[in-house]
Chains A and B, each alone.
Chain A
Amino acid sequence: MDLLANIPYPQWLNPGDNAWQLIAATLVGLMSIPALAVLYGGLVQKKWIVNTMLMVFTGFSLTLVVWVLYGYNMAFGTAAHLGGNDFLNNLVGVPHTLLNAASSQGQAVSDTNTVVPFHFPTATLAYFQFAFAAITPLLFLGGLVGRLKFKAWLVIVPLWISVVYVVNAKLMWGGGFFALKGAVDFAGGFVIHLSAGVAAFVGAAIIGPRLKRDRTTVPSNLMMVAIGAGVLWMGWNGFNGGAPYYAGADTGSAILNTNLATAVAVLTWVFMDMTLTKQKKPMFLGAINGMICGLVGITPSAGFVNGLGAIIVGFLCTFVVWFAWNYLSRVRPFSKVDDALGVVFTHGFAGLVGGLAVGLFADPKMAVYLADDGKSAAFSVGGWFYTHSFHQLWEQFLAAVWVIGYTAVGTTIVFYIAKVIVRGLRETDEVLEVGDLAMHDEEAFPTETFAERVSALSRY
């Protein structure tokens, strides 16, 4: 065999792009595990830590299996032509697996990107997109913790990915109807955050509230919140930085913009707490809410806006969500639904405001991809601020209406199916009184003093 003929990768593969995409995917994965596990674990009551963390880890696993078996191709594969119009013909992809060598190592192809070919294999794109799919149910889990049956969760995640997520992803990203019409979502402000916010709210309404006691007790651990939030922020560099699919100039812009918007958002929330609350004090959990508003808000526009746009988006998202969190939460329907961690505000409202902001502040000079001359933009987005046209805002608005409506209907269907399958979505009050110990025979901080082993593992 001629050794010179051995090459590590095919012609179409660019090692820099492939390496970056896999690192970005891993960063996004870290946002789920451990970031959301410990962030949510720190925000829930002490007796719900184990349950919450277990739901995060199992939800992540469930989505990956679904994704490889059929989910990826429903969202990003060849369109299944379901009917005689653009909408139905581009609603979902043909479901098939990624289990053989060709489907894993072949060049990634997607209707998403017709400007330049992907420079990495399907396995890379599928894993990157999996990390996004996986975090979405974990985000809406924040609205459901503290009363959801564990078995119900095991049914809800695969169903929701199959019914809701793949359709929104196809329509916005996978070359579907809204993508064709010109709506854009840089890294998931609509597909992930707006959708998760709506699902959290609708799901929480269907399941019913937590026990009164759990609604009125303090969070378990603010240091865990700090760790989770910090990993979330830095992980977002992969979230928004991976969205261009190339380790290019716009990747740098997207990451810098993401951090800039977030910094402004944190400071805005802290400043609002210091001036507009009764206590007039800066609060850590307020800063974290601001951080999430900034990260979520800049997600739909990270590589479409310039630095000034990022500052405006960061400020605007926190400004709106702060008022929603403190005032809108007191009026119907928000006051009647126990969205445990307030996902509808920090993800739903922030995702909506951020997604609409694309139509206002996207700078056409911010080139996502370049034309043949290597200078001018082959793909960029222009908002009202630069084009004096409301066209992009209108497209963003239509896509937002779809995501809100479809997610609400889809989530309702999924939750009622799960309710029938596992006979009720809410644990009994008896179990809820105890929490982790009743559901899992474990607690987050076991007491050493009184615990004595009474049975050995069978292998001894």
Chain B
Amino acid sequence: MKLVVAILKPFKLDDVKERLKALNVTGMTITEAQGFGRQRGHTEVYRGAEYEVDFVPKLKLELEPRRVSVLNSDSESTTKVVGRFKA
């Protein structure tokens, strides 16, 4: 049993949640986070001035071991599900 932590693109949350529910996961914690990886940031322009925005919005998902039902006690399949959707 391990604590599963995943960083998601915000629009993927619903898919991940539904798949995890299907695996009988009974709850999860979501934190709004900022991050950058391969995706990098972007440029914004306000009144002619450019602004570099390195960080983009992410969601940090945490699954405590006790939320993962006995049917999936090794949490392997849970990790696989999250891994498929990971940002």
Contact = CB atoms under 8 A, between A and B. Distances in A.
B51 interface: yes
B47 A285 contact: yes
Contacts, number: 21
Interface of B: 44-48, 51
Contacts of B45: 277, 279, 281, 283
A101 interface: no
A218 B47 contact: no
Contact of A286 (B44, B47, B51): B47
A48 to B, nearest CB: 15
Secondary structure class of chain A's binding surface, majority of residues: loop
B47 A342 contact: yes
A321 to B, nearest CB: 12
Given A219-B46, A277-B45, A281-B45, 18 more contacts: A43-B47, A216-B51, A217-B51, A218-B44, A218-B46, A218-B51, A219-B47, A277-B48, A279-B45, A283-B45, A285-B46, A285-B47, A286-B47, A286-B48, A289-B47, A325-B48, A326-B48, A342-B47
Contacts of A342: 47
12 contacts: A43-B47, A217-B51, A218-B51, A277-B45, A277-B48, A279-B45, A283-B45, A286-B47, A286-B48, A289-B47, A326-B48, A342-B47
A196 B68 CA distance: 65
Residue of A216, A285, A289, A342 with most chain B CB atoms under a 10 A cut-off: A285
| Complex A-B, nearest 3 residue pairs according to Cβ-Cβ distance, in ascending order | A285-B47, A219-B46, A218-B51
Contacts of A217: 51
Contacts of A216: 51
A342 B49 CA distance: 12
A285 B46 CA distance: 7
Nearest to B47: A285
B82 to A, nearest CB: 28
A41 to B, nearest CB: 15
Contacts of B51: 216-218
Contacts of B44: 218
Nearest to A326: B48
A281 B42 CA distance: 15
A163 B51 CA distance: 40
A219 B46 CA distance: 8
Interface in A238-288: 277, 279, 281, 283, 285-286
Contacts of A283: 45
A216 B44 CA distance: 12
Contacts of A43: 47
A67 B18 CA distance: 65
A334 to B, nearest CB: 13
A243 B17 CA distance: 62
Contacts of A277: 45, 48
Residue of A216, A218, A326 with most chain B CB atoms under a 10 A cut-off: A218
A283 B46 CA distance: 8
Contacts of B48: 277, 286, 325-326
Nearest to B49: A216
